[in-house]
Amino acid sequence: MTVLQARGLAAATVVLLLAGCGGGDPEAADRERPRTSTSAAATSAPPAVVAPPTPTPTVEPGGTDAAGLVVPPETAGDLDSRSVPQAPDLGAGWTRYVDPGDVAEGYAGNGSWVRARDVSEVVQSVVPLGCTGLTSVPRLPVPEHALEATYRGPRDAPGVALVLEYRNRAQAAAFVAGMARIARSCPEPAGGVRAGDPLTVVVEPVRVTDRVVLDRRREHGAGAGEWLWSEAVVHEGDRVGLLILASPPSGTRPDLPQLAERLRAAVPR
């Protein structure tokens, strides 16, 4: 699990994020989430749609909330909500998710589905914990600006997107190279991972080049979450886009090449 997954969302993930992106029980989430019928063959009046309340920040972005936490703005430099994929881009059933914040995790909500992130923190957050083949932590360059977006999908699956803006193309390329190293360095240990073993992240590279990294990852061992995570990282000019979506292991897996295309289209905006 990455710090990004543990911190990016309060009631969920996103990662995302779950009061931790890596945690959560997909079956329990499916039972608890209000559902709206999508059947075209309904023979009676459609059920009422139950929409979750949208949190309202108590102070303007940039100020502090009642807990003394800084409320993040909805933009970061030139980055705004156009710079991340829109919910329909992620596939059927995905919606924007307004993260209410989490005092225990040390971050405040801002009443929006997008928020600026601390650039140093966000670089640390993308390195997975429990990767047995990663003998040293990659030195990922710190961006000038970072913007995060949060989503929820089918069965309450969490999702998170990040857009990082660097001083130049070379720094952006170095970040993607570091992510490529991570994707190649987290294979399943010989002999597998037993339920009582230390938490271990296994990453399956799907496509790794100098401009795109596509992979799927799972947690194994003690405290492992139930989600399968599908991740896309793209390099576009002096910006990098990251997208990670959860899905039940037995469910339909997101189309990674298609997600990469949608992410690449949004990042330059």
Provide CATH code, domain 3-33+73-266: 3.40.1000
Distance of alpha carbon 26 from alpha carbon 11, whole angstroms: 13
Mean pLDDT of 39-57: 43
pLDDT 10s digits, 133-143:
988 888 999 99
Structure tokens at 131: 């990767």
What residues are paired with 215 via a beta bridge? Answer: 205, 231
In this prediction, residue 26 carries a pLDDT of: 52
For residues 236 and 238, give the distance between their C-alpha atoms in angstroms, rounded to a whole number. Answer: 6
Structure tokens at 214: 């596509």
Comparing 14-23, 126-135, 191-200, 258-267, the range with the smallest average pLDDT is 14-23
Q: Write down the pLDDT at residue 213.
A: 98
The mean pLDDT value for 12-24 works out to 35
What is the model's pTM?
0.80
- Look at the block and give the residue holding tokens 């980055």: 79
For 142-195, what is each residue's pLDDT tens digit?
999 999 999 999 999 999 999 999 999 999 999 999 999 999 999 999 999 999
pLDDT at 51 over 70: no
Structure confidence at residue 59 (pLDDT): 59
List, in order, residues 6 or more apart from 18 with CB less than 8 Å away: 5, 6, 9, 11, 12, 24, 158, 225
pLDDT at 67: 85
Q: Is 83 exposed, middle or buried (0-12, 13-18, 19+ CB in 10 A)?
A: buried
Q: Which residues face 58 on adjacent strands?
A: none
> For residue 205, what are the contacts with CB-CB under 8 A and spacing of at least 6?
183, 184, 213, 214, 215
Using pLDDT thresholds of 50, 70 and 90, give the confidence band for residue 243. very high
pLDDT of residue 62: 72
Secondary structure class of 128 (helix, strand, coil): coil
Going by pLDDT thresholds of 50, 70 and 90, the confidence category of residue 60 is low
Condensed to tens digits (0 to 9), the pLDDT of residues 65-105 reads 878 899 999 999 999 999 999 999 999 999 999 999 999 99
The percentage of the chain sitting over the pLDDT mark of 90, rounded to a whole number, equals: 68
Which token pair is 262?
């949608």
What is the pLDDT at residue 112? 98
